[in-house]
Amino acid sequence: MELENDTRISEFLLLGFSEKPELQPFLFGLFLSLYLVTIFGNLLIILVFSSDSHLHTPMYFFLANLSFVDICFTSTTIPKLLVNIQTQRKVITYKSCIMQMYFFILFIGLDNFLLTVMAYDRFMAICHPLHYTVIMNPRLCALFVLVSWIMSALHSLLESLMVLQLSFCTALEIPHFFCELNQMIQLACSDTFLNDLVMYCATVLLVGAPLAGVLYSYSKILSSIRGISSAQGKHKAFSTCASHLLVVSLFYCTGLGVYLSSDAPQSSHSSAVASVMYTVVTPMLNPFIYSLRNKDIKEALTVFFRGKP
């Protein structure tokens, strides 16, 4: 694909995972199955939250929002991947690539902020139970979600606008299954110093700071749990945050794995495979983690399917 050094390019090539024809039906079936399970599982969490008044608490309000974001997050990349596999055509237009990158950054940022807010919610519930209902009122919960959307949207808009300023040369093959920010910057033949600077600063501020908040919240939670005298009380307190702790660990560990694999030499394929973990597998597992380890969700699911308490 010979193009001049010009920002007005028309398309990119998403190389994906494998060009072997015999693997395409397997990859299509695999990702279609993962996608459908993700959509069904997260949609079920939203429906159960909406239909059961007992779940209308801050924790489940944030969980329902997380499920909605996970549906959108997965839908940003997987449908295009499925189309490319089915049609054996790996082209994505320049505009579609920028839009996909914008929504990907938006929803992964929302995931990050919502997990942080959920950690704060558990911190208030366990460390300050007497003030919990007063502080975590519906207005504050809605404000947390609104601020998360605004911050994620502004960050995504900034990154996308800066990519629009880049010039691209002849190497327009993206060694990934979606338009990932770092891969786009690496393809540019113009100066990317500002893009790199903004990307790293955003990582420190918008990922590092929330992660520090999560770690602080759970350090205080564990300290409070150790102070509970009865074993039953400790178990009850820990069970309320165990699911969220597992989801947080999964999210940040897979994200770290992608970051490390992208910095390694000859890492294009390994980075794409690692990205599957946090773009597909993590959103798919979240509903199962919450439903299998949460008594309230189990009871609500039973009522939802049976139609009676």
Note if the pTM is more than 0.85. Answer: yes
Query: Is the model's pLDDT at 3 over the cut of 50?
Result: no
Most confident of 16-25, 46-55, 139-148, 236-245: 139-148
Model confidence pLDDT, tens digit, residues 88-107: 888 999 999 999 999 999 99
Segment 83-91 mean pLDDT:
90
Model confidence band, residue 244 (pLDDT cutoffs 50, 70, 90): confident
Are the CB atoms for 287 and 42 separated by under 8 Å?
Answer: yes
13 sits in which H/E element = strand 11-14
**How many whole angstroms separate alpha carbon 133 and alpha carbon 140?**
11
Chain-centroid distance, C-alpha 254:
10
Show the domains of the chain with their CATH numbers: 11-306 (1.20.1070.10)
Mean pLDDT of the chain: 88
**140-144, 174-178, 196-200, 253-257: which range is least confident on average?**
253-257
In DSSP terms, 93 is beta-bridged to 11
User: Tokens at residue 275, please?
Assistant: 């990205």
**166-170, 221-225, 250-254, 277-281: which range is least confident on average?**
166-170
Strands annotated E in 55-198: 91-93, 173-174
User: Tokens at residue 197, please?
Assistant: 């600077």
**How many whole angstroms separate alpha carbon 139 and alpha carbon 63?**
16
What b/e sequence results for 31-65 when a residue is b if at least 16 CB atoms lie within 10 Å of its CB, and e otherwise? bbebbebbbebbebbbebbeebeebebbbbbbbbb
Query: Is the model's pLDDT at 4 over the cut of 70?
Result: no
Q: How many CB atoms lie within 10 A of CB 182?
A: 16
33 sits in which H/E element = helix 24-51
